[in-house]
Chains A and B, each alone.
Chain A
Amino acid sequence: MTSYGRGLRGLSVATIATITVALALVFFYAPLDANQGFIQKIFYIHVPLAIVALCGFVVGGLLAIAHLRTGDRKWDLRSYVAIHMALIFGVGGLITGSIWAKASWGHWWVWSDPTLVSFLIVMLLFATYQPLRFSIEDPERQARYASVFAIVAGAFVPLNFIAVRMAQGVVHPRVLTLTGGRLPGSMGLTFAVSLLGIALLYATLWNYEIAAKRARMQLRRLRRAALGDDAAGALGRSAAPS
């Protein structure tokens, strides 16, 4: 008897609580930005989304390494869900970033900013993850090739940021430098709580999807065992591990 989604309730509650606190801090505690005013508040959503998405891509690559080393397909499922979720968070990051750029720089898209451009390139690369999986029929080979792709692409993330950053000037507010940045304490606290909230949201959704996929697989297995092969129905073609 496997239990699905163990610990999911606690994680969900923690996520909701943290995001609520983060939003309260964003709107009632953090000071208004002197130059940008109210629109700067999107920073507390946009930057965490982008950071969590990038970390999700790299984590997907690390899980893929575990898959290739052990040959256990559960790691492929984890890697798939990590990248899948990171893609969704990344699209969110791109959209919120675009809104912020329009409001503070006057354009929806700014080529002169290296962070924006490298993020777009990373998104373009990872957007090919699903088509790649989709076009390989053999599930075992699909898992293996997807892992190879995830490792290459995960290593590509930092390298790409170095290359693009060197190619262009700096327009993006550089608030998270190693030298400490220039965020005042109240903004820094709000940002840290927001980042934690979004990261928890990512972890929760990741767990939910894993639980759902594992439950579906188990259901298929049981149906097949109890009612015969026909009852399980043909597997629809899917990019997800099955």
Chain B
Amino acid sequence: MRATFAVLAKDLRLELRTFETLPAMVLFSLSTFVIFHFALGRSAVGGQLAAGILTVTLLFAALLGAGRLFVAEREQGGFDAFLLAPVDRTSLLAAKAAAMFLFLALLEVVAVPAFGVLLLGPALGPRLPGLIAVLALADLALAVIGTLVSAIAIHTRARDMISPIIGLPLLLPALIATARAAAPVLSVHGSGAPPGKWLLILALYDVVFALIAYAVFDFLLED
């Protein structure tokens, strides 16, 4: 547990000093909203379309962030140092997933209001509680799978390509559930609650993949 917090604190301090990942994710999301505005030729969207745009933007931003997750460890020999330390190896997984979750949450603090101003037709205010519930579960899936895929890809030669091509199909069920759960929340005709069925699927997906990641992560570090 202490090792997890130590690595997490290290990652956050690194981000605070370099501002490398989070600002890039935010800028990427804002540009994507602009791209969607022109690509779709719409100035205001709602319902399923709005949910889709928001989900896709966050998904790609998350993949961008996941690609950077282990770069410091690889370049500065952090993996070796971590393996030498007498700590549980899964604490690295927990720390990285927590860092990823925090990055995503901070990204959404900026990106979701920006989405509300730039593209969303209906008012954002009353829709926030429902949206936060959906996004929290979605962030968990993005954090867990992003960390796992990033750890697989970091030692490959073509890692910038490997992590999205593995990550996208793996995240598709989570993407489906997020887009479907957020659609009624962002609906033009009044805000509905997110459907329990999709929240349940998203939660199930989070739990199952967290367990799988926990089970296999050890083997990605052995050397």
Contacts and interface: CB of A to CB of B under 8 A. Distances in A.
A156 interface: yes
A159 B141 CA distance: 13
A219 interface: no
Contact of B155 (A141, A153, A156): A141
A8 interface: no
B201 interface: yes
A32 interface: no
B10 interface: no
Contacts, number: 80
Interface string A158-170: 0110111011000
Interface string B147-189: 0100010011111011001101110110011001000000000
B157 A137 contact: yes
B208 interface: yes
A68 B208 CA distance: 20
Interface stretch (A52-60, A91-99, A143-151, A189-197): A143-151
Contact of A125 (B170, B180, B220): B170
A136 interface: yes
B212 A155 contact: yes
Nearest to A122: B169
Interface of B: 148, 152, 155-159, 161-162, 165-166, 168-170, 172-173, 176-177, 180, 197, 201, 204-205, 208-209, 212-213, 215-216, 219-220, 222-223
25 contacts: A121-B169, A124-B168, A124-B169, A125-B166, A131-B158, A131-B161, A131-B165, A132-B152, A132-B156, A135-B158, A144-B222, A145-B152, A145-B155, A148-B219, A151-B212, A151-B216, A152-B170, A152-B209, A152-B212, A159-B204, A159-B208, A163-B201, A163-B205, A164-B176, A166-B201
